[in-house]
Amino acid sequence: MKMKTVFGVLKELKTDETRVALTPDCIAMLTQEGYEVIIEHNAGILSGFSDEQYIQSGAVIAKDNVEVWEKATVIVKVKEPQKSEYQYFQEDQVIFSFMHLAVEEELTKELLNKKVCAIAAESVEGKNGELPLLRPMSEVAGRLSIQLGANYLETVNGGSGVLLGGVPGVQPGKVVIIGGGVVGANAAKVALGMGADVSVLDINSKRLADLDLTFNGALKTHYCNPYTIKEECKKADILVGAVLLPGRKAPKLVSADIVKEMKKGSFIIDVAIDQGGNIETMDRITTLKNPVFEKYGILHSAVPNLPSLTPRTSSFAYSYAILPYIQKIGELGAFMALKESESLRTGVNTFRGEVTNENLAQTFDLEHTEISLLIGFKVA
């Protein structure tokens, strides 16, 4: 007999985190299917969702996070647990959220010590290696990166005074995007829509060809190497770092020497900062309230939770993406869901005291154990 699944939704504690993991409409779907959902008081308030809306959806409102941690068998979050929450971890409890454990060694050790099943949303893979839970947040972050950059090019915000789209007779601003994945493509979409001159750099020639086709040749594509990075960065009014390696620290692609040669008053945003970042000069994390710092005359932004600038849109997007996985866990129980769903298995980073993600194990020089061995069968 499988253990009763109780889903728990918490108010996020990470600095400036305004999203909520499950929206009222998704919780209504869960409760209508007979599952119990407990949500912390005011968990959705910053995303525009009241406790009353959650009550109407069938959720139980908990007075504080302790009650949620104690009662829930599956914790559904947006961002990784914070230090104050480590004390509440329970053996065999499932925590399903963005984890970014490659830069969270202390959290990794706590998850292992408490034998928590940690499912990292950014590691969950769908067909053909796609990342269905990371994608919607990457779409939001890519689009926001250009909105933020265009704003900070204004002189009142310390920028160079360049209008990204230019005007007739005056050339537009230059946007350089390193990484042609979901973040890069969505940054390009908004930048082109604003009339900017856009270049995308990537090491995957097929991806560059796909982008060229998608945007009907409106953007410039470059094979990414140290030379093209240096030359394109010199021209940039906005530089977007958008290279992520799932389960690993992001590669440093833009050196301090390159940044020093960029135009004064230009803007760099490192969307990969939650995995360590692509830009060497991003030596601190910034926040939604204070998103920018200046170094070498260049504005830098290193906000790890950029989608929290638009929490309502982001919460809906994340909730809709994660719901099918939550429903699978509710239907079968966590253990059997992992047996049945290859996609869920790819997201498991720790399980019963073992590291089950190979990249994470390599990052911290830990032993790696295949999840298939721990749940009782060998995947072909």
Equal fold, 6-123+310-374 vs 139-304: yes
Which pairing describes strands 292-295 and 74-76: parallel, antiparallel, or unpaired?
unpaired
pLDDT band for position 3 (cuts 50, 70, 90): low
- With cut-offs at 50, 70 and 90, classify the pLDDT of residue 1: very low
Q: What is the pLDDT of residue 377?
A: 61
**pTM more than 0.95:** no
Q: Return the number of other C-beta atoms located less than 10 Å from residue 292's C-beta.
A: 19
Q: What is the pLDDT of residue 379?
A: 45
Q: What is the CATH number of domain 6-123+310-374?
A: 3.40.50.720
* 3-state DSSP assignment of residue 274: helix
* Tens digits of residue pLDDT in 161-203: 999 999 999 999 999 999 999 999 999 999 999 999 999 999 9
pLDDT at residue 2, rounded to an integer: 52
Domain ranges (residues) in the chain? 6-123+310-374, 139-304
Among candidate residues 100, 197, 202, 300, the one labeled active-site is: 100
Query: Count of CB atoms within 10 A of residue 60's CB?
Result: 16
Assigned token pair, 65: 């996070």
Please choose, from the candidates 76, 98, 97, the residue with its C-alpha nearest in 3D space to the C-alpha of residue 5: 76
For residue 53, what pLDDT is reported? 98
Higher pLDDT, 129 or 49: 49
Q: What's the fold here for domain 139-304?
A: Rossmann fold (3.40.50)
Residue 376: predicted pLDDT? 82
pLDDT (mean) for 251-271: 98
CA atoms of 196 and 165, how far apart (whole Å): 5
What's the rounded mean pLDDT across residues 284-313?
Answer: 97
Q: Annotated catalytic, 274? A: yes
CA distances from 339 to 307, 333, 353 (A): 32, 10, 18
Q: Which of 117-131, 305-319, 364-378 has the highest mean pLDDT?
A: 305-319
Q: How confident is the model at residue 133 (pLDDT cuts 50, 70, 90)?
A: very high
Q: Is 25 a catalytic residue?
A: no
Catalytic residue among 197, 202, 237, 274: 274
Q: Report, as an integer, the average pLDDT of 213-227.
A: 98
Average pLDDT over residues 339-364: 95
Mean pLDDT, the chain, whole residue set? 96
Residue 318 — pLDDT band, cuts 50, 70, 90?
A: very high
- As a whole number of angstroms, the distance between CA 119 and CA 93 comes to 11
pLDDT band at residue 312, thresholds of 50, 70 and 90?
very high
